Amino acid sequence: MNPHDERLQAALGYRFGDERRLARALTHRSASADNNERLEYLGDALLNFVIADSVFAAFPQASEGDLSRLRATLVREEALAAAARRIGLGDFLRLGSGELKSGGYRRDSILADGLEAVIGAVHLDGGFDAARGVCLRLFAEELGNLPDPLTLKDPKTRLQELLQATGRPLPEYAVLGESGPPHRRSFTVSCRLADGQDDGTVGEGGSRRLAEQQAAQRMLERLRPAGGGDA
């Protein structure tokens, strides 16, 4: 094995029996037809299961939706790229000349895909338990500091659950206006309660969805003093 790759195996806490598997996992499609895309597919599935299993055990009372949100915080591209940077994965990736020139070894998408490919390669080389061990080591910090599932719900979801819990109708959202050039639009959206007991709130954002979330958050803040806490 290339001494350069020895450092990566030490960081993973796993030594490959077949060094060709690691080499393939580190090879981006820009560098060779014999690349890591199939391993990435396998690693993605493995990582999702290991993280899902971990949060399932950590939160025995959490709902399916809460568990899904918790898992999503760990397996999203940014989180995978952060884990890849912690082990210096970018230093080991084999990229084509174009990707090298453009700094592909620093790009979140390439780092995340490479990490998943490495996990897939570990599974093929050492089996499920080995791959699970690598996943748990890579995400030990995140798994040890999981947030309260309630904090992961977006404002629209929390507002809807609060209103349902108190027997009130669901909110209604309406676009009040749009402004700005096509590449930088700004939306203004209102959030009103269908029972007419509130004048409504207004949110702004670079998309309708973001504006609705802001309006919902403001409605939540307005309802709290009236005795309504987040669901």
How do residues 151-190 score in pLDDT, each as one tens digit? 667 888 888 888 888 888 889 999 999 998 888 889 999 9
Is 44 known to be catalytic?
yes
The CA dihedral of 109, 18, 16, 54, to the nearest 10 degrees, is 60
Average pLDDT over residues 133-139: 96
The domain boundary, picked from 94, 120, 146, lies at 146
The fraction of the chain above a pLDDT of 70, given in percent, is: 94
Q: Kindly state the tokens that stand for 1.
A: 């094995």
pTM greater than 0.95: no
**Residue 166 and residue 127 in one domain:** no
Residue in this structure with the two tokens 């453009």, named with its chain if needed: 102
**Residue 170 and residue 96 in one domain:** no
In the set 40, 99, 116, 125, the catalytic residue is: 116
**Residue 129 and residue 175 in one domain:** no
**Residue 126 and residue 202 in one domain:** no
Average pLDDT over residues 97-123: 91
Is 198 known to be catalytic?
no
Q: Kindly state the tokens that stand for 53.
A: 């299993």
In the set 40, 44, 113, 212, the catalytic residue is: 44
User: E strands within 77-230?
Assistant: 171-179, 186-193, 201-205
